[in-house]
Structure 1
Amino acid sequence: MPRGQILTILGAFVLTIAGVMVFLNLNEAQAGPPIQPWGSDPNAGAVLYAENCASCHGEDLQGEPDWRSQKEDGTLPAPPHDKTGHTWHHGDALLFTYTKLGGKAALEATGVSGFNSGMPGFADVLSDQEIWDILAFIKTSWPDRMRETQQIRTQGEQMRGDS
């Protein structure tokens, strides 16, 4: 095979690989902040919540008593995840990231430093889908108006590119 043909084939191969890499990077960049995937299973989430979350946030999502007052170690008690808490005030990206990374790391990722959070990260315990299933379960406890408000917050995150 002549040298010119080899260089042409090699050049086409390199351009093809570069194009695939650019395409993959663009798709990743366009993926945006995490958002509740379709098909999340609130029933599976209820079981996972009982196993991983209820010990702090309560079997009925009620949180710890006096959850707005700081403990002696500077952390706040676990808040409720039902309609009496503030979980529904946050979009999907924050809820997912807070659960996956833990409170301190999630807040530091948004530029908030020095916050002493008692929320551990669950990245080594739960898969992404399991976290989404738990969040789907929690959302089932909210009245329609709160779910709608939370969806608006999620849309705002998507528009701003929060993660």
Structure 2
Amino acid sequence: MKTIGLAVLASAALIACGDPPVSAPMSASLTQGATLYAAQCASCHGAKGEGQPDWRERKPDGRLPAPPHDASGHTWHHPMEMLVQMTRDGLVPPLAPEGYQSDMPAFGHILSDDEIRAVLAYIESQWPDEVKRMRAERFKPQTSGR
């Protein structure tokens, strides 16, 4: 029943966001990522990854609003394994300074690492090609100078 509810919620979110282009059907993993994003992430990060308003300005409680996951944010600036760890464990050391307070919950008790990777792949699939190229260049595997 929970899976059906998630599928309905994800379908509604995908309709609200617009269907993916017919020329680029989503893989099963991206569909799973879209479903999980709609159920677990969109309430804070926005249905289209737009984040919360004024995401760079601290709220009265000192915490930062949820950042965007679209090209205007900084998600694409981080390596995949760091994003997996942030999502799974929350913003805790060594990913954030000791005592850092965030509204970002840890999802490790809700989502498996594979589900987290599917969500992140879905987020990445929404970025423009230019951002994908910059990210690939930024995280290009290092080769030895031999």
Q: Same fold (TM over 0.5)?
A: yes
Percent identity for Structure 1 against Structure 2: 45
Q: In the superposition, relative to structure 1, how do residues 141 and 64 fare at CA in structure 2: closer, same or farther (>3 Å)?
A: same
Amino acid at match of 1:142: W
Contact kept in structure 2, 1:49 and 1:134, CA below 8 Å: yes
Contact kept in structure 2, 1:44 and 1:133, CA below 8 Å: yes
TM-score of the two chains, using structure 1 as the length reference:
0.65
Structure with the larger helix share = 1
> Which whole-Å deviations, capped at 9, do the CAs of 1:91-136 have from their partners, x for residues lacking one?
1121111100011x2xx02473232222110000001110000000
SS in 1 for 2:98: coil
Amino acid at match of 2:35: V
Aligned residues: 117
Tell me the equivalent position of 2:63.
75
Q: 1:132-143 counterparts in 2 under 5 A?
A: 132-143=117-128
Q: 1:39-50 counterparts in 2 under 5 A?
A: 41-50=29-38
Tell me the equivalent position of 1:122.
107
Amino acid at match of 2:111: L
Bigger Rg, which one? 1
Amino acid at match of 2:101: N
Larger RCO of the pair (alpha carbons < 8 Å, separation 6+): 1
Question: Any gaps of 5 or more consecutive residues in structure 2?
Answer: 1-26
Contact kept in structure 2, 1:76 and 1:117, CA below 8 Å: yes
Tell me the equivalent position of 1:6.
none
Question: Any gaps of 5 or more consecutive residues in structure 1?
Answer: 1-38
Larger displacement relative to structure 2 (142-151 or 53-62): 142-151
Larger displacement relative to structure 2 (113-122 or 43-52): 113-122
TM-score of the two chains, using structure 2 as the length reference:
0.72
